[in-house]
Amino acid sequence: MKKINIITALLVTALSFTPIFSSYADTYTGYELTRGTYPTVPAANDILQNTVSENSGSTVIPQTGNGPTGTEEDTKSEEELLLEQQNRAWLAEQERLQEEALHAQKIGEFYKDSVVIGDSVAEDFSRYALRNTALPIFQNLKFLTRVSYSVHNAFMAISGKSKHPIYQGQQMYAWDSLKLMGAKHIYTFFGLNDLWGGVDNTVAKYLQYIAKIQQEIPGIKITIVSTTPIYVYAKEEFNNDTIRAFNAKMEALAAENGWGYLDVASRLYDSDGCLAKQYCSDRGIHQTNAAYKLWQAAFEEYAEAHLDDVQATP
């Protein structure tokens, strides 16, 4: 305490000398001022610093100031900062890809125990799926299709002339095959081999077909896949107006009965309401790889829209 009092006294004494030195400087002659010889006035802080050092030999009072201290970022080179920025971008991209993969996996799981049933156009979709088995959506989705299969011939007696889908190496009624496949949800695609009989007749046969499957497999879920358009020069006994009328009736019946309705057809029309040229493979009803990419997108979006329905199911 005594040493602190001495230091304080010295500081006060030093400050008191400042006016004296200032007055002394004023008495210098003009000649001396022009020579640039000015008396040196000790700063009070210097006096105090020297005095403390002499008395204690160790105590140092730091200089005050508010200058920048610098940060770690300030010391990094532009190359280091760029590298950090690239690393952050890479991590963000990896996180995005992981989320995308997990979402695709959920889409694939949505189609577990699901079967697409239909004719040659649906069968070509099954071939597209085989070429893309790495995609999650095709790792669970199954197919039960046959060229020329229709709701009209689905009840024919099994013979060498019948057109029932082949499962485990033999023709079977669809409902029998579905039982063996463990199907819980079917996606039915019909119409192109049926509409020669007219819209109302085909609707009636379609309903009969669904009723039979529901009878054989109680609780099975039904989703109607819209009948796709035909090419402008297709040689059929019906046209695209017939297909649109048929689809409208089937969509209404799906809503009425609590079935799903998956619209593929609207993605394939050209400006004239026919199957677009780039989606037609034979100037008739069959479709290209580009068309089946749109089928895939339609199925993925359908699953996307109904993921919550699956999660809510106990």
pLDDT in tens, 119-150: 999 999 999 999 999 999 999 999 999 999 99
Structure tokens at 7: 């230091």
- In whole angstroms, give the CA distance from residue 312 to residue 314: 6
Structure tokens at 297: 């997108």
Q: How many CA atoms lie within 13 A of 286 on its CB side?
A: 10
Whether the pLDDT of residue 116 is over 70: the answer is: yes
What pLDDT does 69 receive?
Answer: 53
Give the residue-averaged pLDDT of 69-87: 79
Residue where the block lists tokens 């005594």: 2
Q: DSSP assignment of 167-195, as one string?
A: ETTEE--HHHHHHHHT-SEEEEE--TTTG
Q: Which CATH class is domain 95-312?
A: alpha beta
In the three-class reduction of DSSP (H, G, I as helix; E, B as strand; rest coil), residue 166 is classed as strand
Q: Provide the pairing of β-strand 170-171 with 166-167.
A: antiparallel
Whether the pLDDT of residue 234 is over 80: the answer is: yes
The pLDDT confidence band at residue 208, using thresholds 50, 70 and 90, is very high
Whether the pLDDT of residue 196 is over 50: the answer is: yes
Average pLDDT, rounded, for the chain: 83
Whether the pLDDT of residue 283 is over 80: the answer is: yes
Q: Provide the residue type at 289 as one letter.
A: N
- In whole angstroms, give the CA distance from residue 220 to residue 214: 6
Distance of CA 14 to the CA centre of its chain: 76
pTM (predicted TM-score): 0.71
Of 94-108, 128-142, 223-237, the range with the lowest mean pLDDT is: 94-108
Structure tokens at 145: 């299709």
Of 135, 141, 129, 142, the closest CA to residue 100 belongs to 135
Residue 40 host element (H or E): none
Task: Name the DSSP class of 37.
Answer: -
What pLDDT does 75 receive?
Answer: 82
Whether the pLDDT of residue 287 is over 60: the answer is: yes
Whether the pLDDT of residue 43 is over 70: the answer is: no
Whether the pLDDT of residue 44 is over 50: the answer is: no
In the three-class reduction of DSSP (H, G, I as helix; E, B as strand; rest coil), residue 119 is classed as coil
What pLDDT does 74 receive?
Answer: 66
Residue 116 host element (H or E): strand 114-118
**Class of residue 35 by CB neighbours under 10 A (exposed 0-12, middle 13-18, buried 19+):** exposed
Of 91 and 166, which is predicted with more confidence?
166
What pLDDT does 16 receive?
Answer: 44
Give the residue-averaged pLDDT of 164-169: 97
What pLDDT does 6 receive?
Answer: 41
Residue where the block lists tokens 């996606």: 187
Residue 261 host element (H or E): strand 260-262
Q: Provide the residue type at 84 as one letter.
A: E
| Close Cβ partners of 144 (under 8 Å, ≥ 6 residues apart) | 115, 116, 117, 165, 167, 174, 177, 178, 181
Share of the chain above pLDDT 90, in %: 64
- In whole angstroms, give the CA distance from residue 305 to residue 300: 9
What pLDDT does 38 receive?
Answer: 39
Domain with CATH 3.40.50.1110 in the chain: 95-312
- 135 CB neighbour count, 10 Å cutoff: 15
Whether the pLDDT of residue 86 is over 70: the answer is: yes
- In whole angstroms, give the CA distance from residue 95 to residue 105: 15
Of 41-45, 128-132, 166-170, 278-282, the range with the lowest mean pLDDT is: 41-45
What pLDDT does 103 receive?
Answer: 77
What pLDDT does 11 receive?
Answer: 42
The pLDDT confidence band at residue 100, using thresholds 50, 70 and 90, is confident
Task: Name the DSSP class of 35.
Answer: T
Q: Provide the pairing of β-strand 114-118 with 185-189.
A: parallel
Q: Provide the residue type at 133 as one letter.
A: T
Of 193 and 104, which is predicted with more confidence?
193
